[in-house]
Structure 1
Amino acid sequence: MSLEWLARTGVPWSAAPDVVAARRLDRSGWEPDGAPAAVVFPRDVEDVQAVLTGAFLTRTPIVPRGAGTALTGATTAGAGEVVLDLAGMNRILDIRPADGVAVVEPGVITADLDRAAAEHGLRYAPDPASLEISTIGGNIATNAGGLRCAKYGVTRDAVLGLDVVLAGGERLSTGRATLKGVAGYDLTGLFVGSEGTLGVIVSATLRLRPLPAATSTIAAYYPDIEAAAEASVALAEARIQPVLAELLDQATLDAIDPALRSSGSALLIVQLDGGPAEAADAASVLGKGAVSVQVSQDPEHLLYARRQALPSIERLGRPLIEDIAVPRSKLALAVREIGAIAARHDVPICTLAHAGDGNLHPIIVAGSYGSPIPEAASRAADEIFELALTLGGTVTGEHGVGVLKRQWLAREAGPFSLGLQQQIKAVFDPHGILNPGKAL
């Protein structure tokens, strides 16, 4: 394809095979047909506008990309597509402590924003497991969750306003910099979770929260994952609101370190920031049915195992990282049925969960890297998605749809709702150049 229009924009770009290959895939393992034609490296908003204006006129498909940590193929790029690499737009533009607000470019690393906010006694609450490598723009594009979302919500709850470049190069500002505001339709919320299919985020106004005065972390071990899941529900029934409640099953503990299982076959990690009385109440609830309970005042001490879960599972083989959510009251049933699915298809499944909000990650170990996905693994994945819908849940709680879940989105949403969403896409992107084949 001709890239003369791209050269005329004056924006740095490359079609070198090694540069293109490095941005063809994301963490999902999905492999598109062919390789992208080029990678563009915008330095500012004007660069993004120039690229999208040229792409619109030439009908060139554009794939926005941050760190490439997407788990559903949302940032993969194939033949004829141009990757818009936003990682270089990584400035924290402003932090306003009195307002509890930060303004950042899309390439800012999530953990870097959190650390910058901490210098002002604040924090950026969303903390996906990939927070040390994922970008704010990518988090917004997928409405990422994370460990602390049990109490503080997902990315959408932290996004107050956006600057977005639309498919034709127009710049749109949505939302506001105030903590309250209901003027007009919620266009900000529409862009959050849209996976780069409606526009390219070039800056975000984000809500910051005060750092807690004290944090307590509890590790409770149980004889099996069903008992651990029931304990997390018992916390909700006791009206205790943890910052996070993370559940790891026996297979996950074995992948991280078999020594972790010396205390039990399932681990529930709970963190609270409501003070000593709340921590004592939580420990009492969690102690019922537990093999052991450990309390720490070091907020990271007991979270190390949880953050090592995915890298450890990836060492076992090619992971299919699934992401479903069910009503909290159905959590124990869901983990029980996932175990039955693993046994029925004779495939290894490591289950971890944000138990505080019913978001499960059953990770199927699907053979070796580079080999075809076994049919049994694919059947197991389909049954997991079917289970989520049967229990009144969703086929994706935080990873998004991308390429891998489009057929299941159609099942969940239904034809009428899906048709309306496609009409919205056509309003913002009439030529279908923004991340084509993703999300819808």
Structure 2
Amino acid sequence: MVVTDPDVLAGYRQDRAVDPDAGTALALVRPVTTAQVSTAVRWAHRHRVPIVPRGAGTGLSGGATAQDGALMLSTEKMREISVDTVTRTAVVQPGLLNAEVKRAVAQQGLWYPPDPSSFEICSIGGNAATNAGGLCCVKYGVTTDYVLGMEVVLADGTAVRLGGPRLKDSAGLSLTKLFVGSEGTLGIITELTLRLLPAQPPQSTVVATFPTITAATDAILAITGRLRPSMLEFMDAVAIGAVEDELRMGLDRDAAGLLVARSDAPGEHAGLEADIMLEACEKAGATEAFRTDDPDEGEAFCAARRFAIPAVERKGPLLLEDVGVPLPRLGDLITGIAEIAAHRQVLISVIAHAGDGNTHPLIVHDPNDAAESERAHLAFGEIMELAIGLGGTITGEHGVGRLKKAWLPDQLGPDVMALTRSIKDALDPHGILNPGAVL
């Protein structure tokens, strides 16, 4: 289906990042099959028309921003799924939401672990395009760890099948992994073969608040030094207050930081691991720490953490970051961000997948206030420079998109940038696939 109605196209102009340089697309196509994707891409290749692939539009880095004269290709109508309980795999089309995949495989007693905070509204194809993570990735890994194979349409319209429902496969180059995280710049994913796990066991949950950031990060390092939690999440004082304003859970507004940690170890071992985490929090100086085995209570605290971004957004529009560092530098990153916020006179909240060092600084600003907007964007860049200087990354799971690409050379260096460009040029010699994203 091809759409040229300007009112419809306007709804596909941005993802959640709100790129100020978004253009006006030529048309929108919403294919249902791989063959239809190939037809659209062949036409674009023949006429040298750029193509911007798009999933659910929940991306946070401008990776699905419309470009002038481009063809927007939405995978939202591609929604087939089949589950194989013998191989513990699911074959899915990219338009399914992450939550829909989870629910479908759960009916077969299986589990798809990657769980971005937006899992109820983000597409599985978009997850693969950005190599999305989530709250449980500290133990279970990110999207690429679950992609066994795919069908992908190349820049000339050729559809190729990579990998498959095999847990072991050393034949040829690992091309499947090349396309995961490529943000639609190398090809358009039209099908994924996903590895599944048995249903997750019941979890024990530990919640702790801390008087200082140092105490919180000490607890994080103590926990990760002894075990691998199934979740280890952090919220700073701004996020705690914002969530409490909305949910009225009785969170400690005076706390500098809050941790939510979980264990899904089998049987009684979950409780034993929870006790270890509880002890680590208490020794680090927690003002309050407790354990619960009640699944509803535990899930309520997880939901509070997931709600942190929209809660902080109530304070004003956000510039969202996604920087990560090696765990020993997490405290330096969080305190450094606070120093940047003070220097630039902007409000910045920090939430984090603390167990893997991936933070989400949330920069609150008024885009209609030119001076404040400039300070916010300066802080945006300085936070990425800080992360790089600490041996980290400008993006742990959201992708580079268009908003972060200026800092990519600082992280990768000239040799790796040249290698990356050579791969892009080899697979997309005319540069029609998501131009302006990543590179």
Q: TM-score range by the shorter chain?
A: over 0.9
**Which residue matches 1:166?**
154
**Which residue matches 1:248?**
235
**Which residue matches 1:261?**
252
1:132 aligns with 2:128: no
CA contact (8 A) 1:73 1:404 kept: yes
- Which stretch of the first structure deviates more once superposed, 250-259 or 393-402? 250-259
Q: Select the residue among 292, 296, 302 that pairs with 1:296.
A: 292
**Which residue matches 1:4?**
none
Residue pairs, 1:6-405, within 5 angstroms: 12-92=1-81, 94-237=82-225, 239-258=226-245, 259-262=250-253, 264-274=255-265, 275-288=270-283, 289-297=285-293, 298=295, 299-368=298-367, 374-405=373-404
1:276 Cα shift? Answer: 1.8
**TM-score scaled by length of structure 1:** 0.94
Aligned equivalents of 1:309, 1:224: Cα separation in 2? 19
Aligned equivalents of 1:431, 1:370: Cα separation in 2? 39
1:369 Cα shift? Answer: 6.4
1:368 Cα shift? Answer: 4.5
1:324 Cα shift? Answer: 0.6
1:110 Cα shift? Answer: 0.1
1:307 corresponds to which letter in structure 2?
A: R
2:330 corresponds to which letter in structure 1?
A: L
Aligned equivalents of 2:183, 2:105: Cα separation in 1? 26
1:263 Cα shift? Answer: 6.8
1:226 Cα shift? Answer: 2.6
Aligned equivalents of 1:112, 1:217: Cα separation in 2? 25
CA contact (8 A) 2:94 2:189 kept: yes
Residue pairs, 1:420-439, within 5 angstroms: 420-439=419-438
1:399 corresponds to which letter in structure 2?
A: H
1:373 Cα shift? Answer: 6.1
CA contact (8 A) 1:140 1:156 kept: yes
Aligned equivalents of 1:358, 1:209: Cα separation in 2? 24
1:408 Cα shift? Answer: 0.6
CA contact (8 A) 2:234 2:352 kept: yes
SS in structure 2 opposite 1:294? strand
- Which stretch of the first structure deviates more once superposed, 99-108 or 263-272? 263-272
**What whole-Å deviation, never above 9, does each CA across 1:372-408 have from its counterpart, x for those lacking one?**
8622112212221111111111111111111111111
1:371 Cα shift? Answer: 6.5
1:262 Cα shift? Answer: 4.4
Identity of aligned residues (%): 45
1:62 Cα shift? Answer: 0.5
- Cα distance 1:263–1:211, how it changes in 2: closer, same or farther (>3 A)? farther
Aligned equivalents of 1:226, 1:348: Cα separation in 2? 20
1:224 Cα shift? Answer: 2.3
- Cα distance 1:369–1:121, how it changes in 2: closer, same or farther (>3 A)? farther
CA contact (8 A) 1:328 1:358 kept: yes
1:370 Cα shift? Answer: 8.9
SS in structure 1 opposite 2:150? strand
SS in structure 2 opposite 1:168? coil
1:265 Cα shift? Answer: 2.9
SS in structure 2 opposite 1:301? helix
**TM-score scaled by length of structure 2:** 0.94
2:251 corresponds to which letter in structure 1?
A: L
Number of aligned residue pairs: give it.
Answer: 427
Aligned equivalents of 2:76, 2:312: Cα separation in 1? 27
1:312 Cα shift? Answer: 1.1
**What whole-Å deviation, never above 9, does each CA across 1:17-52 have from its counterpart, x for those lacking one?**
111000001100113353111110101111101100
- Which stretch of the first structure deviates more once superposed, 29-38 or 110-119? 29-38
CA contact (8 A) 1:229 1:247 kept: no
**What whole-Å deviation, never above 9, does each CA across 1:62-100 have from its counterpart, x for those lacking one?**
0000101111100010210110010110121x1112211
SS in structure 1 opposite 2:160? strand
1:67 corresponds to which letter in structure 2?
A: A
Aligned equivalents of 1:27, 1:163: Cα separation in 2? 27
1:296 corresponds to which letter in structure 2?
A: T
SS in structure 2 opposite 1:312? helix
CA RMSD of aligned residues (A): 1.5
